[in-house]
Chains A and B, each alone.
Chain A
Amino acid sequence: MLSNFGVIFSSIALITSFILIYFSFLELKISDSKIPKKIYNFSLAQLIFSLLSFLILLIGYVFSDFSMINVYENSHTTKPLFYKISGTWGNHEGSLLLWTNILVIFSFLFLILTKNKNKNFKILTLIFQNFLIATFFIFLLTNSNPFSPIFPIPNEGMGLNPILQDPALAVHPPLLYVGFVGSSIYFSAALAALISKVEAKSLATTIKPWVSVSWFFQTLGILVGSIWAYYELGWGGYWFWDPVENSSLMPWFLMTALLHSVLVLERRIGLYSWVIILSILTFTMTVIGTFLVRSGILNSVHTFANDPSRGLFILTFLTLMVFSSVFIFFKYAPSEKKTYRIFSKEFFILINNWFMVFFLAVVLIGTLYPVFLDTLVGEKISVGPPYYNFILAPFLIPLLFLMTSGPRHKWVVSELKKIFNVILFLSIFLFLIIFFIIQENNFLIGLILLFSIYLVVQTIFDFYENFKNKSVNFSRIISHLGFGLLIFFISINHIFSTENNFNIRTGEEKDTKDYIIKFEKLTTMSTTNYKSIVGNFKIINKKKLNTKNLKPEIRFYNQPQTITYEASIRSNFFSDTYLTMSNISDTDVFNIKFEKKPFMNFIWFSVLLISFGGLLNFFSRKKQI
């Protein structure tokens, strides 16, 4: 029943996108300044049917309707309601439906919210959006149908992968998808702007709010993903340079570059073609990301299910998309002869773009190189954190410095600011105090600390100065401050994290440098969807003489049968205590990993600050209009 409705609704949504493309094409030839009612109506109809098809799947999950394969494979009656709902997008088909729905919502919002007067520009953007929508609906219906029926109807479902049964991972995909799919708008708008010869400022003001919004959600999505990885995977880290994590980071670099260069475009200084290239690249990168994750050509924790035919479809789509974009670009791109003065604000934005594209290139090379090497030579290599740290870390120093200095320069005018000022000396002084306390003798980390302090101090000072002049650019102040703090706390965290790995039996205790870890007893626990062994640990701090109780678990989920290792994390203001245990097969010995991780909360908070700047950027736009 539900299955049929789902297919019908999404088919109607697919048909409406064809109708929209047809009417829009007709409309291009009519020199009327208004977009006709029927285009609005069909868009609304498309939105409604698309949302209905999502609602159908949601109902299927909430009421555990196992007549749909997708629900049967990914849900279970005993699952809490919250995870029944989040299970809707916890699998390939459902997440694709969510992706397509967000695409439809964004297109509709673009149509009704954009105040751009150029009709053909809007219509063309809508056409490109609908080509994307149609492609994704076709992909959904032919290859990855979430509504496929199953007969005979099973009594019980197979359950959701337990590591996905988590509040952070319930919101992670929607956040990231809003970021990903948001970039489709400026992809379409960029192509449309080329064809309809939209003027620089007009293009910039149209895409700027979409860039801010997608950047904001992308940043949040990455944050939630790392928080999840930190406490749910139980590996003791928050960023692993895993190919799938990289896929979310790569578009982020491009969005950040775009967020900055749009400012140059807005002031008619230049970068018209470059903004268009960036817009096209950003969406291309999100599709490449989807391809990498869904095709399963990457070895990663996150590739839960994969299938080569999906990869083939996305790859074909990607090739078509890239070729047509390149064709449109070279056919219509205007030639640009602008001068950029050294030490002007736009010069620093160019440098920002240089770094962002470089970071993207490093991550892209690191992610894809092993795949190519394996295919071409048949040699398997791994590219992990040591590679990225080695290449990227030194570049953080000039980046931090440019983030400090760049925003203080004026547009168009070339003016070399004095570097040796009070702020720098204040920062060096602060740095020396910190350096004296931490006694870190790694030169690189020392420099990174120094320049992150400089960025933070200078940004706070800029805020004070701007506040006096009553012209505060809150979004840049907050984002840059957040970035400075992030790098500072990551470095401090890197220096002070301690880790102890040892084997222990119940009743024994382990004496480390600062702590005594007592393994008091084992208890068992059981709830509806899993049974677990709980280790009761007492951590005694030798210096402060306080004790903490930690209870890591080994869970045995019944649906589907999976073992997960739950870290026990005691989060204090300044430091996290982190403990995981695993049993060594056929013995009564447990392997324990005990970690102290300082400033974890500060790291999360810094990323929140960064993303918040993006949100402010979005709202400050509205005020100006």
Chain B
Amino acid sequence: MKKIFFLLIIIFMSTKLFANEDVNNKILKNLRCLVCQGQTISESNSDFAQIIREVVNDKIQEGLTEKEIYKFLSEKYGDWILFNPPFKKNNYLLWLLPYLLFIFGGIIIYLMIKKGLIGKK
């Protein structure tokens, strides 16, 4: 049981590790083109997207990390520009509700098979 638990933790942690991907492209893919409809900066051909691409490029040259670039852009344009909503007060529910629902579903299934379990043993 402990092993499984440990394995699960590794699986969930590893989502965070996106190794080897070109940081520049990755950042552009996580930014919304504000003048378009639902496009990312990476996908868009608009002038706005061209400007943001330059900005991101410059910031990388300046030595800013990925997180610092997101922070810089969200301070300027608001969280609307980030496709990965930050984990903060207003978004706790967004990030946690799915997991809570999953656990809730698990409890329901446990209750459904509980009788069968007793019968078996």
Instruction: Tell which of A9-17, A384-392, A484-492 binds the partner.
Output: A384-392
- Asked whether A341 and B94 contact (CB < 8 A) given A300-B38, A389-B15, A444-B15, the answer is no
Q: For residue B39, which residues in chain A have a CB less than 8 angstroms away from its CB?
A: 235, 301
A483 vs B82: C-alpha distance when bound (angstroms): 31
Question: Across the interface, do B106 and A369 meet the contact criterion of CB distance under 8 Å?
Answer: no
Per-residue 0/1 for B69-113: is the Cβ within 8 Å of any A Cβ (1 yes, 0 no)?
A: 000000000111111110000110111011101100110110011
Tell me whether A501 is interfacial, beta carbon within 8 Å. Answer: yes
Question: Across the interface, do A444 and B43 meet the contact criterion of CB distance under 8 Å?
Answer: no
Q: For residue A366, which residues in chain B have a CB less than 8 angstroms away from its CB?
A: 94
A237 vs B37: C-alpha distance when bound (angstroms): 16
Question: Across the interface, do A358 and B85 meet the contact criterion of CB distance under 8 Å?
Answer: no
Question: Across the interface, do B15 and A393 meet the contact criterion of CB distance under 8 Å?
Answer: yes
Q: For residue A379, which residues in chain B have a CB less than 8 angstroms away from its CB?
A: 79, 90
In the complex, besides A354-B102, A381-B82, 13 extra interface pairs with C-beta distance below 8 angstroms are A242-B38, A303-B37, A342-B116, A347-B113, A358-B98, A366-B94, A377-B90, A382-B79, A384-B32, A384-B84, A390-B16, A395-B102, A582-B45
Per-residue 0/1 for A395-406: is the Cβ within 8 Å of any B Cβ (1 yes, 0 no)?
A: 101000000000
Cβ of A3 to closest chain B Cβ, rounded Å: 32
Contact of A339 among B20, B22, B108, B119 (CB under 8 A): B119
- What are 30 A-B contacts defined by CB distance under 8 Å? A235-B39, A299-B37, A299-B38, A301-B37, A340-B112, A340-B113, A350-B112, A350-B113, A351-B109, A362-B98, A365-B94, A365-B98, A366-B94, A369-B93, A380-B78, A380-B79, A381-B90, A381-B91, A381-B94, A383-B83, A384-B40, A384-B84, A385-B30, A386-B84, A441-B20, A442-B14, A444-B14, A444-B17, A501-B25, A582-B45
Cβ of B11 to closest chain A Cβ, rounded Å: 5
Per-residue 0/1 for B50-86: is the Cβ within 8 Å of any A Cβ (1 yes, 0 no)?
A: 1001000000000000000000000000111111110
- Asked whether A584 and B11 contact (CB < 8 A) given A354-B109, A358-B98, A441-B19, the answer is no
Tell me whether A414 is interfacial, beta carbon within 8 Å. Answer: yes
Tell me whether B1 is interfacial, beta carbon within 8 Å. Answer: no
A499 vs B85: C-alpha distance when bound (angstroms): 24
Closest to B12 in A: A394
A250 vs B14: C-alpha distance when bound (angstroms): 27
Cβ of A179 to closest chain B Cβ, rounded Å: 23
Q: For residue A381, which residues in chain B have a CB less than 8 angstroms away from its CB?
A: 79-80, 82, 85, 90-91, 94
A354 vs B90: C-alpha distance when bound (angstroms): 27
Tell me whether A55 is interfacial, beta carbon within 8 Å. Answer: no
Tell me whether A81 is interfacial, beta carbon within 8 Å. Answer: no
Tell me whether A236 is interfacial, beta carbon within 8 Å. Answer: yes
Tell me whether A585 is interfacial, beta carbon within 8 Å. Answer: yes
Cβ of A585 to closest chain B Cβ, rounded Å: 6
Number of interface residues of B (CB under 8 A): 55
A-B residue pairs, 3 tightest by C-beta: A384-B83, A582-B45, A235-B43
A441 vs B12: C-alpha distance when bound (angstroms): 15
Q: For residue A377, which residues in chain B have a CB less than 8 angstroms away from its CB?
A: 90
Q: For residue A99, which residues in chain B have a CB less than 8 angstroms away from its CB?
A: none
Question: Across the interface, do B17 and A443 meet the contact criterion of CB distance under 8 Å?
Answer: yes
A-B contacts counted at CB < 8 A amount to 147
Q: For residue B83, which residues in chain A have a CB less than 8 angstroms away from its CB?
A: 382-387
Q: Which of A349-370 contact B (CB under 8 A)?
A: 350-351, 354, 357-358, 361-362, 365-366, 369
Tell me whether B3 is interfacial, beta carbon within 8 Å. Answer: no
Question: Across the interface, do B116 and A339 meet the contact criterion of CB distance under 8 Å?
Answer: yes
Question: Across the interface, do A501 and B53 meet the contact criterion of CB distance under 8 Å?
Answer: yes
Closest to B16 in A: A390
- Asked whether A358 and B117 contact (CB < 8 A) given A385-B83, A386-B84, A394-B11, the answer is no
Q: For residue B2, which residues in chain A have a CB less than 8 angstroms away from its CB?
A: none
Q: For residue A389, which residues in chain B have a CB less than 8 angstroms away from its CB?
A: 15
Question: Across the interface, do A361 and B84 meet the contact criterion of CB distance under 8 Å?
Answer: no
Cβ of B85 to closest chain A Cβ, rounded Å: 5
Cβ of A249 to closest chain B Cβ, rounded Å: 15
Q: For residue B17, which residues in chain A have a CB less than 8 angstroms away from its CB?
A: 442-444
Closest to A274 in B: B112
- Asked whether A342 and B91 contact (CB < 8 A) given A242-B38, A300-B38, A591-B45, the answer is no
Question: Across the interface, do B120 and A414 meet the contact criterion of CB distance under 8 Å?
Answer: yes
A414 vs B10: C-alpha distance when bound (angstroms): 31
A342 vs B115: C-alpha distance when bound (angstroms): 10
Q: For residue B50, which residues in chain A have a CB less than 8 angstroms away from its CB?
A: 584, 591
Q: For residue A237, which residues in chain B have a CB less than 8 angstroms away from its CB?
A: 43
Q: For residue A365, which residues in chain B have a CB less than 8 angstroms away from its CB?
A: 94, 97-98
Question: Across the interface, do A340 and B79 meet the contact criterion of CB distance under 8 Å?
Answer: no
Q: For residue A339, which residues in chain B have a CB less than 8 angstroms away from its CB?
A: 113, 115-116, 119
